[in-house]
Chains A and B, each alone.
Chain A
Amino acid sequence: MSAPSSLFFLSILPSLHHFSLLLHFFTFPPFCLSIHPFLSVSLPPTDSSDSDLELSTVRHQPEGLDQLQAQTKFTRKELQSLYRGFKNECPSGLVDEETFKSIYSQFFPQGDATTYAHFLFNAFDMDRNGSIRFEDFVIGLSVLLRGSVTEKLNWAFNLYDINKDGYITKEEMLAIMKSIYDMMGRYTYPCVRDEAPSEHVDKFFQKMDRNRDGVVTIEEFIETCQKDENIMNSMQLFENVI
């Protein structure tokens, strides 16, 4: 736009602002209702949108390197490298669930990884405050990569136990199984049938549920897994990821 006309329009905006203030002052209710929404488009955000701004300005700094080293089984250099990657992706130091879901979904482009990501998020977010801090992240990774088999199995149990009551019910397991199958997407061979998750859950319960009480406890889980050679082998698979 040419300069004069842009100046003209710019000069109008403050006057609109004053006009709205006037409205506030005189409180014309019917006009307020109809005109105010129209005017507030160009005005600075009112109170309702301030809380949105708040979240973006929240930052989190992790505990010191020494404490983290004490809490986890990573070396100093590994922690440094992990933090750099973490901070690069989440400059504010916190990962909220939406970001987490979008990051995790990028690894599974064919399917829908959001449900499983939700469960994962809850598994990592130990204090259930809706965001993962670096400490949660690194402690969880420490367990997964450097922990003993028992610790890993504990972690897996924690993942499956959605409501964290110490028991895995069939419904919880079904939800988990469905989310895992969702990640596969539609284009699979053979095609994923609708009953596949529930069949898989039945097989799982057959294996794990010793006393046939319909739930799997942590002891049953660990015991069964330790007896299964495949599972024990696969637990060691990702030792060298970092």
Chain B
Amino acid sequence: MATGVAAWLPFARAAAIGWMPVANCPMPIAPRDNSKKQDELIILNVSGRRFQTWRTTLDRYPDTLLGSSEKDFFYNEEIKEYFFDRDPDAFRSILNFYRTGKLHYPRHECISAYDEELTFFGIIPEIIGDCCYEEYKDRKRENLERLQDDQEENMDLKMPNMNFRETMWRAFENPHTSTMALVFYYVTGFFIAVSVITNVVETVPCGATANQKDMPCGERYTVAFFCMDTACVMIFTVEYLLRLFAAPSRYRFMRSVMSIIDVVAILPYYIGLVMTNNEDVSGAFVTLRVFRVFRIFKFSRHSQGLRILGYTLKSCASELGFLLFSLTMAIIIFATVMFYAEKGSSSSKFTSIPASFWYTIVTMTTLGYGDMVPKTIAGKIFGSICSLSGVLVIALPVPVIVSNFSRIYHQNQRADKRRAQKKARLARIRIAKSGSANAFLQSKRNGLLNELLELTGTEEDEQKLTQKSISLLESQHHHLLHCLEKTTAHEFVDEQIYEQNCLETALQTYPSRSPSVSSHDSSTRTCCSRKRKRNVPLPNTSLPTTHSTHQGPLQELSAIHIQCGDPLSHTASRSNLNLKTDESSRINCKSGRITTAIISLPTPPALTPDGDGLHGPPQRRPPQPPSHPPPLSIQTTTSSAGANIVKVSAL
């Protein structure tokens, strides 16, 4: 029952009194209407714009957000309104749906934004009224096609691990993926062109020799042309076989249009090889050579425009069919008329109706060769009508085909442009992302540096590192990442540093050093023993050159590579256990190596210590002897021969 008609239900019930005197038995009791409250105005505040309507209007559709109790979630007690933080323009059409029962799609609205609004308010788009439904469907289809295009492009970039076959197939389908594919693409293109030109030049008369008449080049230089043909066909055959091998679904590939064209292009040659040269079949053999012209269709792999044209023709099949049908009808009609009109005249070329077909076609397409002309007056009248109607009949379906072609072509243009811009877009996105990642790392260092300053209690802490004031959101985000680090007992590092670490673990030998690691004996030692917050100078150690290279103002992470020796030789301590957990943590680096991160900061001049306090961060090169051991306890362990363990524990 239409909900607008619900307003008339009281009337229908009242009119039922007309049945009462006729009835012979008592009537059932009417349901009680307990909710006797008066209809009230509801205020819907959508991003500041206030919409008001009756409650009963909204109750018409109880399975939507506004019609059910779901809207109570949005009720704001202070202002006594239902507040929705959505687009007020789109809300207009939604509220009109409740009022009139018809959902309209505003044309200026973006289709995905509109869909989102509908989903939010719980309205299914299928009830869009007829007036707007087609437009909605069209826009939705366009959007979907665009999304599919994007998805297809994305799929190109995925798939890191492909076997040889898949790589080959990808190379065939997208020549720009690798240089080999590009080379192959151009080589095949060149040979297609050569083959086509050969076929054409073969038939050109080459100039008469002394004793023979003018003969085509093909017959004069038979061997040369045969060699060229063989070469081209060999290339095509190899290409076809490779494609067949690489295709993910061979059966589907063999049925596809391009493969059929490939086969048709090379088959005449092989058939010609097989067949003998006797007279009766050579006629058929000559016919086969015609099929060699199909090689030109192989260019459609190389030209997108050709593909679009083919696709357009396929999608306009019904219009083309209509065109053909109407043309045929008109041709038959006019041919018949012309035949009978010209029957009287002598020496008429219109000998039969099929003979008149030729005249009709030539006239309707406004070609007008003039080889057949009507001579009688009636013939001339009908001939002129024929040519006039020909123009109309042909002009009618053409715009449809043209608009289809234009739409598809522009879509492709857009896809190409998007692809070209995509690289730039991705690069920009990557920079933005790494910017935020760097921000986290930087704030970590800053924050920890500040901690360090406080802990060491030097006079330098007045000159705290100027910290960029970060927003609350950022600090919360950083805290979150921090918690993750704690949970997994890993740390976030910079990408370059990470790669370098991996490289270095593979290459470096690890100098043994007597570790002197300062660790705070307070309870700030965390479970992650790797968390060294400063570059602790190691006495008697030359801080290994395994540290990453200075990179100017950039912060850098350097690693001290620890060689894990025999676990048994560790003194059992909490940090040992932590060490063990760290062992398994590093991926993609050789096992048994533990990489810790030393954060070395650039040298802000203000922080240069005077042999005191901060010996760590500013200078890395000269490892300064620890000048104030008391707050820092140095924990050293030595392992059995050869392997020293540098334990790094948190401050």
Contacts and interface: CB of A to CB of B under 8 A. Distances in A.
Interface in B2-29: 2, 4-5, 7-27, 29
Contacts of A58: none
A200 B32 CA distance: 31
A137 interface: yes
Interface string B36-62: 001100000000000000100000000
Contacts of B21: 153, 156, 160, 221, 225, 231
Given A89-B5, A234-B20, A241 B10 contact: yes
Interface in A71-95: 77, 81, 84-86, 88-89
Interface stretch (A44-52, A101-109, A188-196): A101-109
A177 B22 CA distance: 8
Contacts of B402: 2
B7 A89 contact: yes
Given A1-B399, A235-B17, A240-B33, A230 B26 contact: yes
Interface in A155-195: 155-156, 159-160, 176-177, 180
A200 B27 contact: no
Interface residues of A, number: 46
Contacts, number: 101
Contacts of A156: 17-18, 20-21
A152 interface: yes
A120 interface: yes
A200 B403 CA distance: 68
A170 to B, nearest CB: 14
B22 A238 contact: no
Given A1-B399, A2-B399, A235-B17, A106 B22 contact: no
Given A85-B8, A152-B17, A234-B20, A240 B30 contact: yes
Contacts of A153: 21
Residues of B contacting A: mostly? helix
Given A155-B17, A156-B17, A238 B30 contact: yes
Interface in B293-332: none
21 contacts: A1-B403, A5-B398, A6-B399, A85-B8, A88-B99, A103-B5, A104-B12, A107-B1, A144-B15, A145-B14, A200-B22, A204-B22, A225-B21, A230-B24, A230-B25, A234-B26, A235-B20, A237-B20, A237-B29, A238-B14, A238-B16
Given A2-B403, A85-B7, A88-B99, 4 more contacts: A81-B39, A107-B12, A221-B21, A235-B17
Interface of A: 1-2, 5-6, 77, 81, 84-86, 88-89, 103-104, 106-107, 109, 120, 123, 137, 141, 144-145, 152-153, 155-156, 159-160, 176-177, 180, 200, 203-204, 221, 225, 230-231, 233-235, 237-238, 240-242
